[in-house]
Amino acid sequence: DTAVSQTPKYLVTQMGNDKSIKCEQNLGHDTMYWYKQDSKKFLKIMFSYNNKELIINETVPNRFSPKSPDKAHLNLHINSLELGDSAVYFCASSQTAASYEQYFGPGTRLTVT
């Protein structure tokens, strides 16, 4: 019955590889988000999609490409991984783009070696 789920929970990979993280929400929400939390726990928004349309696109390297096949799913693909990409990536969803309450997934800890 998990509201927002992410896979994988942990991802260890080498520099230069390409990897994807998947997110699914079963809340019927219209809006989904990707956040990055660094080692100092700073939480920063990367992208947001509303009904499969990109509405927030922060200053993120273009190696990061979100994809929303439908409004229940938002995946994050990362090309040519770098050491600095190591972080915890959180997916979140909200009823609408204007809704204040965001429900966060459990996070994906990405380690690039």
d(CA 95, CA 78): 27
Instruction: Count the residues of the shown chain that bind other proteins, applying the rule CB under 8 A.
Output: 24
Nearer to other proteins, 15 or 52 (CB): 52
Q: Among residues 19, 67, 104, 111, which is the contact residue for other proteins, using CB under 8 A?
A: 104
Find the binder of other proteins among 25, 29, 48, 76 (CB under 8 A). 48
CB-based contacts of 108, cutoff 8 Å, min separation 6: 6, 7, 8, 9, 10, 11, 21, 88, 89, 90
- Do 10 and 109 meet the contact criterion of CB atoms below 8 Å apart? yes
Nearer to other proteins, 13 or 37 (CB): 37
What is the closest distance, in whole angstroms, from the C-beta atom of residue 43 to other proteins in the complex? 4
According to DSSP, the residues that pair with 62 across neighbouring strands are: none
Sequence length of the chain is: 113
Asked if 39 is part of the footprint of other proteins (rule: CB under 8 A), the reply reads no
| Window 53 to 72, contacts with other proteins (CB under 8 A) | 55-56, 58-59
DSSP 83: G
Q: Give contact residues for other proteins (rule: CB under 8 A).
A: 4, 40-45, 48, 55-56, 58-59, 90, 92, 97-98, 100-107
